[in-house]
């Protein structure tokens, strides 16, 4: 089986299950036009995020890593009308493009884009007593994945779900001697998932439009 075939199947399934959508497609166009990298989740992955948020009955969602707001729109659309989503982004240009996309999606009153280093804005959220969030989606700089997961535990409750993107990285995660901080950060995440009490975690490996990668899924089962 080739990556090409996996991508073709992904495209086939996306055409059926996550078809063309003017708002989502427009968000990606605006992202490309502004020169942002095309590293958003795929349509089928966006739908998975929305499905998981629905399963959770989520009313509040936290996202770490906004980019142009593509995954943000998928997640925010899964919220009830009085739901809230906070998304954290370090790059002011990305935040600006995302705000435009969220306004065009009619989600600017639902979503707050917070600018700054996520390590800082996560600490601020804890200080403010924000949360508990029902779903957390971690998809920023992978070097800090383990730290973001620990902050997420402080901003959730038993029953919350934490999802982390890009935790397989074409299998690079196997390389214990890797000098790539993203790989080391993700390896530390997996070790933390394994050693955190009160967390039920697994990893789903994925193939398709985004190559070979994976999502970590961690259900908070006990008070942290
Ligand atoms: N979730 C998005 C993709 C996010 S790409 C989607 O699927 O549509 C990762 C984003 O994380 C980028 O926009 C990048 O600027 C941001 N980022 C990187 N390091 C960060 C940090 N330290 N704090 C906050 N955001 C960060
Ligand atoms: C890449 C993919 C991602 O989903 C992400 O969050 C960051 C980078 C990439 O393909 O480089
Ligand atoms: Mg990602």
Spatial separation of the C-alpha atoms in residues 182 and 167, rounded to whole Å: 9
Residue 165 Cβ < 6 Å to ligand 2: yes
Q: How many CB atoms lie within 10 A of CB 20?
A: 9
The 10 Å Cβ neighbour count of residue 187 is 19
How many Cβ atoms from other residues are within 10 Å of residue 184's Cβ?
19
Which residue has the CA at smallest separation from atom 5 of ligand 2? 39
The Cα angle at residue 87 between residues 156 and 223, in degrees rounded to 5: 5
Measure 83 CA to ligand 3 centroid, in angstroms: 23
* Fold of the 3-220 domain: Rossmann fold (3.40.50)
- Report the pLDDT averaged over residues 211-219: 97
pLDDT at 21: 97
Q: What is the pLDDT of residues 35-46, one digit of tens each?
A: 999 999 999 999
Whole-number Å distance, alpha carbon 165 to ligand 1 midpoint, is 11
The pLDDT of residue 68 is above 80: yes
Backbone angles phi, psi at 19, to 5 degrees: -70, 175
State what percent of residues in the chain have pLDDT above 90. Answer: 99
Which pLDDT band holds residue 2 (cuts at 50, 70, 90)? confident
Q: How far is the CA of 117 from the centre of ligand 1 (A)?
A: 10
Beta strands 161-164; 213-220: pairing state: antiparallel
């Amino acid at each position: 089986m080739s990556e090409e075939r996996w991508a073709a199947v992904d495209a086939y399934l996306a055409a059926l299950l996550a078809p063309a959508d003017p708002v989502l497609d427009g968000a990606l166009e605006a992202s490309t036009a502004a020169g942002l990298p095309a590293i958003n989740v795929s349509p089928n992955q966006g739908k998975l995020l929305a499905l998981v948020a629905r399963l959770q009955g989520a009313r509040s969602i936290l996202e770490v890593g906004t980019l142009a707001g593509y995954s943000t729109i998928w997640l925010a659309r899964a919220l009830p009308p009085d739901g809230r989503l906070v998304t954290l982004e370090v790059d002011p240009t990305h935040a600006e493009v995302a705000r435009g996309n969220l306004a065009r999606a009619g989600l600017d009153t639902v979503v707050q884009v917070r600018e700054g280093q996520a390590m800082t804005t996560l600490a601020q959220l804890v200080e403010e007593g924000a949360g508990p969030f029902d779903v957390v989606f971690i998809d920023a700089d992978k070097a800090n994945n383990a730290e973001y997961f620990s902050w997420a535990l402080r901003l959730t409750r038993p029953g919350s779900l934490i999802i982390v993107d890009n935790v397989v990285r074409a299998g690079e995660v196997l390389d214990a001697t890797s000098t790539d901080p993203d790989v080391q950060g993700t390896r530390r995440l997996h070790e933390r998932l394994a050693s955190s009490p009160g967390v039920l975690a697994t990893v789903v490996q994925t193939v398709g439009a985004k190559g070979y990668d994976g999502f970590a899924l961690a259900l908070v089962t006990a008070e942290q």
